[in-house]
Amino acid sequence: METRSERAETTLAAIVDAALAMAADAGLESLSIGEVAKRLGLSKSGVFSRIGSREQLQLAVILEYDRRFQQAVFLPAMREPRGLPRLDAIMRRWLARATGTDRALSCIYTAGAFEYDDREGAVRDQLLDGVMRLRAALRRCVLQAIEAGHLRADLDVEQFVFEMDALYAGLMRDARFLRDTGMHERGVKAWERMLASAKSAASPS
């Protein structure tokens, strides 16, 4: 029999899940306690008692998005050998998310950056933290690929990470806003071109 604590955790998870779906579809600013309550058949006070304010709901959504992103992109890639195989696995999984048809996989970080680029506060800070941690993880993987001899020793790491991020953002825009069904192939081709120019002479093919 489910305990009261377990029921509370289940309800909280359902609240965050519903809010994440809303944010993926219409942005973090679309979130409201009332709409989440309506979707789940709960009272507004019931949602508020578990999640708190609208801002706390937005923060919870960002953290849950980050957790799911890590599980879908980074954790599977960590099974690959350090260096180029791991970096390539991360990028290919990331690009696949950008061009997938499931809007629930929309990038909260990319969309949120435009929503909150001229705002201040806790939500922007949480988004910024997530983006910077993502870039730091990419930077580590690029450096590991250089150390393994897979990428050129003179590679501009900051520029390369910037281009990885820019490729994803542009790919997602064209796939979702322009509804260009050929964007995944174009994205992969662009990534392979980036890798070709960055590989060392001793890099595995």
What are the boundaries of each domain within the chain?
55-198
| Token code pair at residue 1 | 């029999």
% of the chain beyond a pLDDT of 90? 60
Q: Which pTM was predicted? A: 0.86
- The candidate with the shortest Cα–Cα distance to 190, out of 95, 101, 124, is 95
What residue has token string 């708190």?
52
Provide the pLDDT confidence category of residue 167 given band limits of 50, 70 and 90: very high
Per-residue CA distances from 123 to 3, 104, 106, 114 (Å): 33, 20, 18, 13
Q: How far apart are CA 26 and CA 106, in angstroms?
A: 10
Task: List pLDDT tens digits, range 34-86.
Answer: 999 999 998 999 888 889 899 999 999 999 999 999 999 999 999 999 999 99
Quickly list H helices, the chain: 4-26, 33-40, 44-51, 54-69, 75-77, 84-99, 108-115, 122-147, 157-176, 183-198
pLDDT in tens, 20-34: 999 988 889 989 999
- In the structure, what pLDDT confidence band is assigned to residue 183 with cuts at 50, 70 and 90? confident
What CATH number belongs to 55-198? 1.10.357.10
Q: What is the dihedral of CA 16, 132, 170, 74, to 10 degrees?
A: -70
